[in-house]
């Protein structure tokens, strides 16, 4: 009985800490992203803490509900979006710190959970009663359907390779990906396939977090912020926080799948430090990896490329990226046959 109570207390405290980490680090990451993008465009840019100021300002403003809105769904959508996004972090290891819900799910569950924030955005857009938001919601659904297939292909290809080498392991568990890094188990053809899948995953991440060039659902010059045009105050602040946390979620997922390396196994033979210190070092290294992924998946791309049109987004994901993911799958299949 005592062990069960302690486990429940651990889950509650762990969830609160992970939630705080996701929100705070997500806002910090948005600030760093905006600063880097500004410098890449020869601008000064806002201070790194500007996202914190934006959230504070939004939560101090009044919530305005449109006259034609479905009020309960309009108000529930931001909460569902943030809650679903934060819950994904509970399944992802943070450096050498195991996930809070270890053993309760795997990467397949994470893929399903990733659809909930997008569906909440769509529901909120339709519930607002705005024609601009309705167009944005339709575009969000198109975007969501476009990137799902290359995302699923990436996960299946990597899991397939692990299952052939270690049939007794849970192939789609993030703990298994951490125990057997994909770069260590691939042959020459597999390495080529994994590089292609990494590029696919980075570009899928840009679409998942709806940044340029895939921000068709919020195109300011076309549909005046689209999905969020009628949102204000706390509701808009919740969507803003969900966007920040989702940036951390997608970057953490890439790190967990492709770069689950920690510093402690390599440095512990040279340095004698307490376990908690090594956990802290691995966690800081994990944060550095997230920032590198965010730079390549978000900052660099949105500075380099202009917004796509809707048909271009569909062609890019269903055409080029899906084809690239299938070619990578073939390379990994050849690698499996040769081994």
Residue 85: the pLDDT is: 93
> Which stretches of the chain are DSSP H helices?
2-40, 50-60, 71-89, 107-127, 131-165, 174-179, 182-185, 188-208, 220-223, 233-258, 264-267, 275-294, 300-304, 310-314, 322-338
* Whole-number Å distance between alpha carbons of 39 and 300: 11
From first to last of the 339 residues of the chain, give the pLDDT tens digit: 677 888 788 888 989 999 999 999 999 999 999 999 898 988 888 899 999 999 999 989 888 888 888 888 888 999 999 999 999 999 998 888 888 887 766 888 898 899 999 889 888 888 887 888 888 888 888 888 888 889 989 999 998 898 888 888 887 888 888 888 999 999 889 999 999 999 999 999 988 888 778 777 776 666 666 678 888 889 889 999 999 999 999 999 999 999 998 888 887 777 777 778 888 889 999 999 999 999 998 888 888 887 788 888 888 888 899 999 999 999 999 988 887
300-307: long-range pairs with CB below 8 Å, 24+: 300/40, 301/203, 301/206, 301/211, 301/212, 301/213, 302/37, 302/206, 302/211, 302/212, 302/213, 303/37, 303/40, 303/41, 305/212, 305/213, 306/212, 306/213, 307/212, 307/213, 307/214, 307/215, 307/216, 307/219
Residue 192: the pLDDT is: 94
Residue 89: the pLDDT is: 92
Distances 64 to 34, 114, 166 between C-alpha atoms, Å: 28, 28, 55
If one counts every other C-beta atom within 10 angstroms of the C-beta of residue 20, the result is: 11
pTM: 0.92
């Amino acid at each position: 009985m005592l062990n069960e109570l302690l486990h429940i207390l651990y889950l509650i405290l762990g969830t609160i800490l992970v939630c705080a980490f996701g929100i705070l680090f997500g806002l910090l990451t948005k600030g760093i992203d905006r600063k880097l993008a500004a410098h890449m465009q020869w601008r000064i840019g806002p201070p790194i803490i500007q996202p914190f100021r934006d959230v504070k300002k939004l939560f101090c403003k009044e919530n305005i509900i449109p006259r034609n809105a479905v009020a309960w769904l309009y108000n529930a959508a931001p909460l569902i979006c943030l809650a679903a996004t934060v819950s994904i972090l509970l399944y992802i290891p943070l450096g050498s710190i195991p996930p809070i819900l270890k053993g309760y799910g795997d990467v397949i569950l994470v893929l399903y959970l990733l659809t909930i924030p997008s569906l909440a955005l769509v529901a909120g857009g339709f519930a607002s009663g705005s024609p601009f938001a309705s167009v944005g919601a339709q575009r969000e659904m198109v975007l969501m359907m476009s990137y799902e297939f290359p995302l699923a292909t990436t996960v299946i290809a990597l899991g397939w390779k692990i299952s052939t080498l270690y049939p007794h392991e849970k192939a789609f568990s993030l703990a298994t990906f951490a125990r057997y890094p994909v770069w260590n188990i691939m042959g020459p053809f597999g390495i080529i396939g994994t590089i292609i899948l990494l590029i696919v995953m980075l570009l899928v991440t840009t679409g998942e977090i709806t940044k340029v060039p895939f921000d068709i659902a919020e195109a300011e010059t076309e549909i005046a912020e689209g999905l969020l045009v009628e949102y204000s105050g706390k509701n808009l602040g919740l969507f803003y926080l969900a966007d920040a946390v989702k940036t951390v979620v997608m970057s953490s997922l890439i790190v967990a799948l492709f770069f689950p390396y920690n510093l402690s196994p390599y440095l512990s033979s040279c340095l004698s430090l307490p376990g908690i210190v090594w956990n802290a070092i691995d966690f800081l290294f994990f944060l550095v990896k997230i920032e590198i992924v965010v730079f390549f998946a978000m900052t660099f791309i949105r500075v380099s490329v202009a917004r796509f049109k809707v048909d271009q987004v569909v062609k890019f994901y269903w055409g080029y990226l899906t084809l690239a993911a299938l070619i990578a799958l073939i390379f990994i299949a050849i690698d499996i046959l040769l081994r």
